[in-house]
A and B are shown apart, each in its own frame.
Chain A
């Protein structure tokens, strides 16, 4: 990736790269579109509940005869229609971005950090440390995520922090494996050996000399973990194991499915479904264009 130079140069080189990355993403049409969706999603995640014209759970929309508007198609009162319980779909969609966003953000970052540290330590030390940590990842691979998460969430009241914790527990193995193999290819390079030879301790060598060289891959897998987290949260919520106190996009899909209105109430189904697929896909599209920077071998040629 980089020429073997002084480590300080490598760090500043990394800063320069970060600027270039944005340039590359903007040049890739699909990744640029993905970036727009991500920015929109983050905005909704922060402002969504405040923008919502009604409370997504408490407010019931009523017609002129004061009867709740149940499963009403989009109209003047409710521009995305209403749910079977007379709630405003548009408000639920806006507010539902927040729990989805929080789980994605913290699940992704937590997964990235744990995975990065495990991969770094495992790859750097090798030997017994590596053996123990890798058997631990084997174990989390052997425990299937969704069934185990369902098990845990039957006896622990589901809440956003608990769901994040479960996600990180089962997802860190993905970045850990990749980071480990990256670290193994870096750790025998000359600048690492010379750092060791000139008396740098393990910690310093690991974090100052090795880590910056695998940081890009770490970011990439953190991004992917955001997408996985959102997907798993949606799946758990859809199965009825989501945080019952908030309305996420997954919860909306569960409600429309359970109510049996999926066949008719397209206005209630499409907003959360499109929301989920748009954000998970966007993260992956941006990730792919980052991957091409990290591994130019696989670059798509002739992208405008």
Chain B
């Protein structure tokens, strides 16, 4: 299979998956008993006519397939409609939340990928060392413990007991920054950022470390490294060569992790009251703000699908045998 055909196939799969995911969300939300408007009537806040008018405005009086069609078109154009509880467009509600989430997670993910990959390579190179054993046990703890539990431990120590870092939110209640520079480049923000950032780094670290370590271990005795050793390369130079050859799985895994990062982030954002998309989703579910719910879930699903696509393509690009051997 040529790379081009492989690419087309993968993109087709991603598009189909997007449609299926979107449909699943649609069905799930339509299955919810009662809609928020009926509760408005019940509470006596609105008359039946007013509710009908609102329902028409949201397109809820149209046949299901028309609703579905409009819904799909709207989602794919990032036109998420109006939030029921915030009385502003959903995108206006979600966008700053998404930014807050990405500002927390992307630096954390990049930092982890670099630091724990290097640590993993070092551990793999020094098999049987204390560093190897303890780094593995330590990162196993952080990767298997749910992120919010790690967050709670860190809060108890760094925030409640020692009082070094604030426990709540993205900035102090009194801080009223303007513009992104003032918002994100300030001591206040940095103090609020530290524990959530550390928690994410620790949570992500285990997989990268093990991946890099196993790759180096598997390659250490290999022919081509023996050749390099025979050529008189130093240990560090050999490690670098081994490392370069171990990068493929790490890069692929990085892409996958990018997509899955919204997974752990929901509880993480709740425990730190971080104003991100995960916390927005939980709140929207509790308030039955369906347009916001579907937008948030859609964005999370889309991230996974795109990341998977990126991972597959990167893998095929870096290792041509994947595309040629015909995947699966």
Beta-carbon contact of A235 and B146 below 8 Å: yes
* Cross-chain contact of B266 among A138, A147, A281, A300 (Cβ < 8 A): A147
- A239 at interface by CB-CB < 8 Å: yes
Interface residues on B, range: 35 or more
Chain B residues lying within 8 Å of A269, measured Cβ to Cβ, are 152, 156
* Cross-chain contact of B133 among A154, A231, A283, A300 (Cβ < 8 A): A300
Chain A residues lying within 8 Å of B201, measured Cβ to Cβ, are none
With both chains docked as a complex, state the minimum distance between the C-beta of A53 and any C-beta of chain B, in angstroms.
26
Contact A253/B140 with A155-B31, A298-B217 known, Cβ cut-off 8 Å: no
Taken together as a complex, chains A and B put the C-alpha atoms of A155 and B144 apart, in Å, by 29
Beta-carbon contact of A238 and B148 below 8 Å: yes
**How does the 8 Å CB contact mask read for A191-207 relative to B, with 1 for contact and 0 for none?**
00000000000000000
**How does the 8 Å CB contact mask read for A3-16 relative to B, with 1 for contact and 0 for none?**
00000000000000
**How does the 8 Å CB contact mask read for A141-158 relative to B, with 1 for contact and 0 for none?**
111111110111011000
Taken together as a complex, chains A and B put the C-alpha atoms of A172 and B237 apart, in Å, by 42
A interface secondary structure, majority: helix
Contact A239/B33 with A141-B304, A281-B145, A301-B128 known, Cβ cut-off 8 Å: no
Beta-carbon contact of B218 and A298 below 8 Å: yes
* Cross-chain contact of A147 among B32, B214, B262, B328 (Cβ < 8 A): B262
- B271 at interface by CB-CB < 8 Å: yes
Closest to B298 in A: A147
Chain B residues 271-300 with CB under 8 Å of chain A are 271, 281-282, 285-286, 293, 296-297, 300
**How does the 8 Å CB contact mask read for A263-304 relative to B, with 1 for contact and 0 for none?**
110100110010011001101110010000000011011110
Chain B residues lying within 8 Å of A302, measured Cβ to Cβ, are 127-128
Chain A residues 79-137 with CB under 8 Å of chain B are 130-131, 134-135
Beta-carbon contact of B217 and A234 below 8 Å: no
Beta-carbon contact of A277 and B141 below 8 Å: yes
Taken together as a complex, chains A and B put the C-alpha atoms of A232 and B144 apart, in Å, by 11
Chain A residues lying within 8 Å of B167, measured Cβ to Cβ, are 263
Chain B residues lying within 8 Å of A273, measured Cβ to Cβ, are 149, 152-153
Chain B residues lying within 8 Å of A227, measured Cβ to Cβ, are 144
Beta-carbon contact of A142 and B149 below 8 Å: no
- B258 at interface by CB-CB < 8 Å: no
Chain B residues lying within 8 Å of A262, measured Cβ to Cβ, are 152, 155-156, 160
- B143 at interface by CB-CB < 8 Å: yes
**How does the 8 Å CB contact mask read for B298-320 relative to A, with 1 for contact and 0 for none?**
00110011001000000000000
With both chains docked as a complex, state the minimum distance between the C-beta of A149 and any C-beta of chain B, in angstroms.
10
Beta-carbon contact of A151 and B144 below 8 Å: no
Closest to A228 in B: B144
Chain A residues lying within 8 Å of B266, measured Cβ to Cβ, are 146-147, 150, 235, 239
Closest to B17 in A: A142
11 contacts between A and B (CB under 8 A): A138-B13, A142-B18, A144-B301, A148-B24, A150-B282, A231-B144, A235-B266, A238-B267, A288-B140, A302-B128, A303-B133
Residues of A near any B CB (own CB < 8 A): 30, 130-131, 134-135, 138-139, 141-148, 150-152, 154-155, 227, 231-232, 234-235, 238-240, 253, 257, 262-264, 266, 269-270, 273, 276-277, 280-281, 283-285, 288, 297-298, 300-303
Given A141-B308, A239-B266: 6 more A-B contacts, CB < 8 Å = A141-B304, A143-B304, A147-B262, A231-B145, A235-B148, A238-B267
